[in-house]
Amino acid sequence: MNATAAAPSRDDFAAMLDESFERADFSEGSVVKGVVIAIEKDMAVIDVGLKTEGRVALKEFGATGRESPLKPGDVVEVYLERVENAMGEAVLSRDKARREESWVKLEVAFNDNQKVEGVIFNQVKGGFTVDLQGATAFLPRSQVDIRPVRDVGPLMGTPQPFQILKMDRRRGNIVVSRRTVLEESRAEMRQELVQNLEEGQVIEGVVKNITDYGAFVDLGGIDGLLHVTDIAWRRVNHPTELLQIGQQVKVKIIKINHETHRISLGMKQLLEDPWQGIEAKYPAGAKFAGRVTNITDYGAFVELEPGIEGLIHVSEMSWTKKNVHPGKIVATSQEVEVMVLEVDPVKRRISLGLKQTMQNPWEAFLENHPVGSEVEGEVKNKTEFGLFLGLDNDVDGMVHLSDLDWNRAGEVVIEEFKKGDIVRAQVLDVDVEKERISLGVKQLGGDPFVDTTGEMRKGSVVTCEVIEVKEGGLEVKISETELTAFIRRADLARERGDQRPERFAVGEKFDARVTQFDKKAHKIAVSIKALEIAEEKEAVATYGSSDSGASLGDILGAALKKREGGSED
């Protein structure tokens, strides 16, 4: 090779420059073309057509990936920072030229929403730096992968696609995402996989993740949710009872949402539904043994067979324990006998009763203690309307205030009792349906009203003794009894002029007629007027009539004479 070919002359350089710089823009801050005219140690001398040359470190060209080293005559693009510095040389940069080239390409990709290739080469606060063929971008840690990545080592130094999220050329900021690319890729793959699946299809998968509400099953690139209620027909408190990560399972596709690509799976749907023909299997009124599987505030669930559970409502758990938490009556895993109360195959509900398997304590009480019998109980509570006594089988009976004493007010008598006292009483009434027992204390001593009145009834004539004279009438005591009554002014005489209380004196006795007699209510009313009317009617009927011509005085006189004669006889 001759010298001319090996080392281009100044004329050759001039020709190449003329050709290269015909349309060159030599404004500062732009990328221009230049020719390498010499290599001096670690610097390349480049002529860009200005008065002086510029120098660029050879290491800036090392990043270009050239197979052969830079040599004189090579045409390169450099960034013109300044036309002339203090030493009279042009200030050039190959790195900035490459960066400018990259920015132009990246802006086009950003505007067209295209992916760009880059290499993660360093870790910084909050993320990583990525080389986008000369331009440096920031990759936030949250944008590295779909799921958090602990070790990013395998990803560094490997060319891979990124999506530009934000660009600010003035500040030189670029933000990229690897996660967006992966999500887009996964969405495309999911869409393709979903299109090949159908509702009702039975497919095998691997349990990928387990949560409190179910398990995610990998169906070969796409996940489906196996909800905890679709794992088995029986109650499953947590999926780990039947599943474990990595387990291969056969599932049925229940539902596919083609918009969100969500797939619902089921395992129990591959088995026979135990609720078919449930009414015939568990008829209302029948008793069965079961196991308590779950206890809540409102009752307890009992498993009758795998996949079939019924609820014992708290109101059906005990005859006597009211407002008690179900956990204090039954325990989880306890074997119990229950009665079927109602079956709803549509809602898949069975109502069970626990207390129905035991005898009604009110029925048992009535059998052992019929009305009229005597019982003994402890005072459990005192209220404004009576006493509550604890009786057999945890049932309570109530003694009303009116049944404490015959003569004294109940409000006074109840103060003589205190909690814990043992009291004897008589059974007055037992209402099994309403679960009520009525007791009486005063009934143990007999009824003085009944005992003293004997054969007295309405219409009887009794002798009364004046106890007190009042403006409105007389307070009297009925002879041979302890009973008192009040005779109103209007009942003191038949004639209006004689209806004066003051014509009577305390201690005076007279006969009167019983106008009201109620043994149950202990009420008695007497009237002088009623007796006079009754005697008058009797005299008229006996000694005269309306057409006899006799006057009322004659009739009454005859009657009186007859009575006096009868007395003499």
Residue 136 lies in a domain: yes
Per-residue DSSP letter, 222: S
Among 74, 99, 124, the domain-final residue is 99
Residue 245 lies in a domain: yes
Q: Which two tokens stand for residue 412?
A: 């006074």
Q: Are both 440 and 525 inside the same structural domain?
A: no
Listed in sequence order, the residues at least 6 apart from 66 whose beta carbon sits closer than 8 Å to its beta carbon are: none
Residue 189 lies in a domain: no
Residues of the domain holding 283: 278-357
Residue 560 lies in a domain: no
Residue 21 lies in a domain: yes
Residue 469 lies in a domain: yes
- What is the dihedral angle through the alpha carbons of 65, 66, 67, 68, rounded to the nearest 10 degrees? -140
Residue 223 lies in a domain: yes
Q: 176: pLDDT confidence band, cut at 50, 70 and 90?
A: very high
Per-residue DSSP letter, 213: T
Among 99, 127, 156, the domain-final residue is 99
Render pLDDT for 403-459 as a digit per residue (tens, 0 to 9).
888 778 888 888 999 999 999 999 999 999 898 999 999 888 766 666 666 678 888
Q: What is the mean pLDDT of the chain?
A: 82
User: In angstroms, rounded to a whole number, what is the distance separating the alpha carbons of residues 345 and 397?
Assistant: 41
pLDDT at 454: 64
Determine which of 107-116, 333-342, 552-561 has the lowest per-residue pLDDT on average: 552-561
In terms of pLDDT, which residue wins out, 161 or 544?
A: 161
Q: Are both 515 and 537 inside the same structural domain?
A: yes
User: In angstroms, rounded to a whole number, what is the distance separating the alpha carbons of residues 527 and 451?
Assistant: 22
Give residue 519's identity as a one-letter amino acid code.
K
User: In angstroms, rounded to a whole number, what is the distance separating the alpha carbons of residues 499 and 487?
Assistant: 11
Q: 172: pLDDT confidence band, cut at 50, 70 and 90?
A: confident
Number of structural domains (the chain) is 6
Per-residue DSSP letter, 398: E
Q: Are both 505 and 470 inside the same structural domain?
A: yes
Kind and range of the H or E run holding 191: helix 179-195
Among 446, 465, 496, the domain-final residue is 446
pLDDT score of 148 more than 60: yes
pLDDT score of 29 more than 60: no
User: In angstroms, rounded to a whole number, what is the distance separating the alpha carbons of residues 61 and 68?
Assistant: 11
Q: Are both 74 and 117 inside the same structural domain?
A: no
Angle between helices 552-568 and 528-543 (to 10 degrees): 90
What CATH number does residue 19 fall under?
2.40.50.140
Q: Are both 400 and 422 inside the same structural domain?
A: yes
Q: Which span out of 170-184, 256-270, 287-301 was modeled with the highest average pLDDT?
A: 287-301
pLDDT score of 257 more than 50: yes
Among residues 460, 464, 461, the alpha carbon closest in space to that of 504 is found at 464
The 3-class secondary structure across 535-564, one letter per residue, is HHHHHHHHHCCCCCCCCHHHHHHHHHHHHH
Q: 252: pLDDT confidence band, cut at 50, 70 and 90?
A: very high
pLDDT at 63: 41
pLDDT at 289: 94
Q: 501: pLDDT confidence band, cut at 50, 70 and 90?
A: very high
Q: Are both 465 and 537 inside the same structural domain?
A: yes
Listed in sequence order, the residues at least 6 apart from 409 whose beta carbon sits closer than 8 Å to its beta carbon are: 401
Listed in sequence order, the residues at least 6 apart from 406 whose beta carbon sits closer than 8 Å to its beta carbon are: 442, 445, 447, 448, 449
User: In angstroms, rounded to a whole number, what is the distance separating the alpha carbons of residues 35 and 44?
Assistant: 10
pLDDT score of 31 more than 70: no
